[in-house]
Amino acid sequence: MASRLTQSDFSSVEHDRPESGGGPDELFVELFAKSNRPVFSWILTLVGKESVAEEIYQETCLALWRSFSEYDRSRDFTRWACGVALNQVRQYRRRVSRDSLLFDDETVTRIAASQQGYRELIDLRREALATCLERLPREDQSLVKECYQSDSTIKAGAERLGRPISSVYKALTRIQTTLFLCVDRILRLEDHHE
């Protein structure tokens, strides 16, 4: 349950509160001391869990202290404080709802398994591609290296080889088809062996 707060409880956050005309505001401490239990009860009623209510209560205390200069003294303080508390509850629920968009354990497990299978397939395809590249004729291997180096373009590769770009594109299309069929064949063979 919430404990009764005193002026000294707020002295560490006094610099965060807008100035209300000078000095510590004893009126706030007096009004809050009368309202702290109803405010905590109100929060607990809204959230239903004491640990969550305590967290929101602390946030509410700071919000009340910081916004006390906006309090209309002709209104009931407890009602005003409960309105501030309601806003804090709403903020908390928005935070939690954003966090609750995280997947449950079963979904995370399924995603992880799917990703593991995907990574294994990528690794198998990469290994098969390396094997298929080695099987290409030397001229085709050189063309692939010239055109697909990390800092090269197909146009630059064609220029270095002294070949027309159109013939390089045709050759690369043929090589890509050959590699695709080779990788597919190797993967199918591995599927049959398992």
Q: Is the pLDDT of residue 153 over 80?
A: yes
Closest CA to 91 of 128, 134, 58: 58
Q: Is the pLDDT of residue 15 over 60?
A: no
What confidence score (pLDDT) does residue 62 get?
Answer: 94
Stretch 56-78: mean pLDDT? 91
What confidence score (pLDDT) does residue 114 get?
Answer: 72
Domain ranges of the chain: 7-99, 122-193
pLDDT bracket for residue 20 (50, 70, 90): very low
Q: Which fold has domain 7-99?
A: Rna Polymerase Sigma Factor; Chain: A (1.10.1740)
Q: Is the pLDDT of residue 50 over 60?
A: yes
Average pLDDT, the chain: 80
Q: Which of 6-20, 43-57, 133-147 has the lowest mean pLDDT?
A: 6-20
According to DSSP, residue 53 is labeled H
Stretch 50-79: mean pLDDT? 92
What pTM, to 2 d.p., does this model score? 0.43
Judge: domain 122-193, CATH 1.10.10.10: yes
What confidence score (pLDDT) does residue 122 get?
Answer: 84
Greatest mean pLDDT range, 59-68, 99-108, 112-121? 59-68
Instruction: Identify the three-state secondary structure at position 41.
Output: helix
86-109 per-position pLDDT tens digit: 889 888 888 887 655 545 557 646
According to DSSP, residue 194 is labeled -
Region label for 22, one of left (φ > 0), alpha (ψ between -120 and 50) or beta (otherwise): left
Contact of 29 with 65, CB cutoff 8 Å? no
pLDDT bracket for residue 23 (50, 70, 90): very low
Q: Is the pLDDT of residue 176 over 90?
A: yes
What confidence score (pLDDT) does residue 59 get?
Answer: 95
